[in-house]
Amino acid sequence: MRETLLRQFDTAWKLAAHHLDGLTTEECLWRPAAAGLHVLRGDDGLWRGQWPDRETYDLGPSSIAWTTWHMLFWWSMALDHNFGPAALTREAVTWPGDARAVRDELQGLRDRWLAGVETADLTASGASRWPMRDGPFADVVAWANIELAKNAAEIGYARFLYAVRGA
């Protein structure tokens, strides 16, 4: 099971890395529509992702900045809550402000995630704590693989739109 989950993860990561490679801060901050989730810079200078009050299509498409913030959010939460003290909150996860830093942070999360998954007991009942609770940790790993692939596809689609925005 571990080998299968790690192969799936590797495939999802390759897709993410493909779309993150060469990503610019300008692409990140571009908004594909007037409506859509984005990151906002607070008075403290930190960028935070907007949190939706619903998940309906009329929210509009998310910016790449928001999608990458979302990746930082769910991965940081999964690491903290499944391998750490389970103290991290959504509000504490910020967007780093530029594409290079996003790539660096995601690479760091990837490395920490792999280290945890490679040694975790995937079948222990009650091993998962976030985003689902009390099931086998393999369920969290499978969810993370899907989430990573979904976010990678969203970044790729937004980059396609950005590339033809003036056409």
Q: Judging by beta carbons within 10 Å of its beta carbon (0-12, 13-18, 19+), is residue 143 exposed, middle or buried?
A: middle
Q: Is 67 within 8 Å of 161 (Cβ atoms)?
A: no
CATH code, domain with 97: 1.20.120
77-120 pLDDT, tens digit per residue, is: 999 999 999 999 999 999 999 999 999 999 999 999 999 999 99
22-51 pLDDT, tens digit per residue, is: 999 999 999 999 999 999 999 999 999 999
124-142 pLDDT, tens digit per residue, is: 888 899 999 989 999 999 9
Q: Which residue range(s) make up the domain with 100?
A: 2-163
pTM, entire model: 0.96
Split into its structural domains, the chain has a count of 1
E strands along the chain, which residues?
39-41, 47-49
- pLDDT confidence of residue 125: 80
- pLDDT confidence of residue 12: 98
- pLDDT confidence of residue 166: 84
SS3 95: strand
